[in-house]
Structure 1
Amino acid sequence: MTALVAVAHGSRDPRSAATVHALLDVVRAVRPDLDVRASFLDLSAPRLGDVLHAVHGDGHASAVVVPLLLGQAYHARVDVPGAVAEARLAALDVTIADVLGPDDRLEDAALRRLGAVVDLDDPGLGVVVAGAGSSHAPANAAVAAVARRWASTRPWAGAEAAFASTASPDVPTAIARLRVRGAERIAVASWFLAPGLLPDRVADLAAGAAVAAPLGADAAVASLILSRYAEALGDVVALPA
């Protein structure tokens, strides 16, 4: 069977890799028949190229690389294909799946994390949807689209996107905008897969607001990983929700 090689960005923060491994444990629980392996682009081990070599060495003829990335930014467009090419494995058929976002399952997971720290039916609530930020404008636009959808469908005073780096607005600016719109309480929804430097920066800038945890080892995110794997193989079999 074709191996599933999940690749995350990587971080010096050990919580990040631990969260990725916990998420892939959920994937394995859903598909115990599938060879699921973790890899990283940078800062954490094992690296993607090393894992692809191990997959080939263990007898697989093919693998699907599933980027554990929430949007189509530089890492997805350049780093992942570059790492696959650098592995130089002509005997291993490698397909790169689509990134995780956009997808309703990510929004569902983010709302569950937010609901753990605030009342989602609070009309006085203002919500910052905080992402990493990218020089690739469509990646930022995808986060802003989440905030717009939530603002139009939830009973809150408003929702605003904000970014930890590179893009604007930043978290304090988004909070100020929500205050102007009448928000009495502020919460931050995490558009990050795992803990690390940028989520910590968001929390530091949130000025005492309730801050939701990253998406983490969520069953909906695990389902999405399996969907991306199946799509890359052209598999139309329904996967568990």
Structure 2
Amino acid sequence: MPEGRPSVAPATPVAAGGPALLLIAHGSRDPRHAATVAALVEEVRALRPGLEVATAYLDHCAPRIAQVVSRLASAVAVPLLLNRAFHAKHDIPAALRAAGGDLPVADVLGPSPLLLDALDRRLAEAGPDLASPAVRARTGVVLAAAGSSDPAADAATRAVAAEWRRTRGWAAVEVAYASAGGPRVPDAVAALRAVPAVSRVAVAPYLLAPGRLPDRIAEAAADADLLADVLGPAPELAALLLQRYDAARTGARPAPALTA
């Protein structure tokens, strides 16, 4: 189980006046979203003192991308997104072009073993006995994602679920979606109840911040035994943002994150 703050390889040192990390979040009308992003930024700063970190939003929240890009001498844009779907492929590049920002853009967060560590962390907070391999071997988990109209994004989520089960010892992992197509959380919970090896079912939101979809998942998880919190300002997430920033800043090609 992850404990404390994960270490991050220093990579190429950030010189004074080097590029800022421009964190681009989706935004939400729910004030918990911006509060979570702000807490995550503080985690990033704690891991990399001296690095300038700025935040911009695609929608609903301020400041917007154009407002922030105009005041940065140089920056690397890092999307706060789990999958490479419409926002990553279209919205963020379009917003950066409209802002006149010719910035390097980092890869999205998923997939990565650090995300699995963050999921483990949130489940351990909901059920401390999940540190036991024997307990995990009897626990089925619903990986509850937002869902996407992009088949590649949903395939990436299924790969995360498969790798999570393979590497962390869960009895079974089912994917469910809060929107778009695919199984819903109650369907996934019922499917896990039918697995002979499963004696307990947990729901783990594969979402970054509180809001409408996480609330929908929580309501739908009424028949589960455990419900984890969203990933939020997990230190593993902060470490992953810095990994993506470093790779984009240096032009490094990251190694494949998952084998599933």
Q: TM-score, normalised by structure 2?
A: 0.83
Are 2:94 and 1:82 aligned?
yes
Residue in structure 2 matching 1:227, options 212, 218, 243: 243
Question: Quick one: structure 1 residues 235 and 32, their matched pair in 2 at CA, closer, same or farther if it must change by over 3 Å?
Answer: farther
Are 2:169 and 1:169 aligned?
no
CA distance in 1, matches of 2:210, 2:189: 21
Aligned to 2:234: 218
8 A Cα contact 1:157 1:178, kept in partner: no
Query: Following TM superposition, by how much is the alpha carbon of 1:155 offset from its aligned partner in structure 2, in angstroms?
Result: 4.3
Are 2:193 and 1:179 aligned?
yes
Moved more, 98-107 or 182-191: 182-191
Aligned to 1:97: 106
Query: Following TM superposition, by how much is the alpha carbon of 1:235 offset from its aligned partner in structure 2, in angstroms?
Result: 6.3
CA distance in 2, matches of 1:23, 1:226: 12
CA distance in 2, matches of 1:42, 1:145: 29
Give the letter aligned to residue 188 of structure 1.
V
Aligned to 2:14: none
**3-state DSSP class of the match of 1:44?**
coil
Write out per-residue CA displacement over residues 9-28 of structure 1, whole angstroms, 9 at most, x where no aligned residue.
Answer: 11111111101110011111
Instruction: Spell out the pairing of 1:16-165 with structure 2 (5 A cutoff).
Output: 16-55=33-72, 60=73, 62-89=74-101, 93-118=102-127, 119-120=129-130, 121=132, 122=135, 123-165=137-179
**3-state DSSP class of the match of 1:69?**
coil
Question: What is the RMSD of the two structures over their aligned residues, measured on CA atoms?
Answer: 1.5
CA distance in 2, matches of 1:220, 1:164: 24
Write out per-residue CA displacement over residues 71-126 of structure 1, whole angstroms, 9 at most, x where no aligned residue.
Answer: 1010000110010011124xxx4111111111110110111101111232323321
Query: Following TM superposition, by how much is the alpha carbon of 1:184 offset from its aligned partner in structure 2, in angstroms?
Result: 2.7
Question: Quick one: structure 1 residues 168 and 26, their matched pair in 2 at CA, closer, same or farther if it must change by over 3 Å?
Answer: same
CA distance in 1, matches of 2:234, 2:167: 23
% identical equivalent positions: 50
Query: Following TM superposition, by how much is the alpha carbon of 1:144 offset from its aligned partner in structure 2, in angstroms?
Result: 1.2
Query: Following TM superposition, by how much is the alpha carbon of 1:154 offset from its aligned partner in structure 2, in angstroms?
Result: 4.2
The runs of 5 or more residues in structure 1 that have no matched partner are 237-241
Q: TM-score, normalised by structure 1?
A: 0.90
Give the letter aligned to residue 99 of structure 1.
V
CA distance in 2, matches of 1:109, 1:157: 19
Are 2:197 and 1:197 aligned?
no
